[in-house]
Amino acid sequence: IAHWLMPRSGVVWTYVVDDPERPGRITDFFSFYSLPSAVLKEGGARGRASARPTYKSVNAAYLFYYGTRDEYDVALSDAEKQGCGGAKQEKQLLKAKTNALIKERLLALMGDALVLAKNSGFDVFNCLDMMDNSMFIRELRFGPGDGYLRYYLYNYRAREIESPRVGFVML
Q: How far is CA 15 from the centre of its chain?
A: 14
Catalytic residue among 40, 149, 153, 171, which?
171
Mark whether 35 is an active-site residue: no
Q: What share of the chain is helix, strand, coil (3-state, %, to 5)?
A: 30, 20, 50
Question: Which residues 6+ apart lie within 8 Å of 101 measured at CB?
Answer: 72, 74
CA–CA separation, 26 and 42 (whole Å): 44
DSSP H helices, 17-148, are 78-83, 87-119
Active site residues: 171
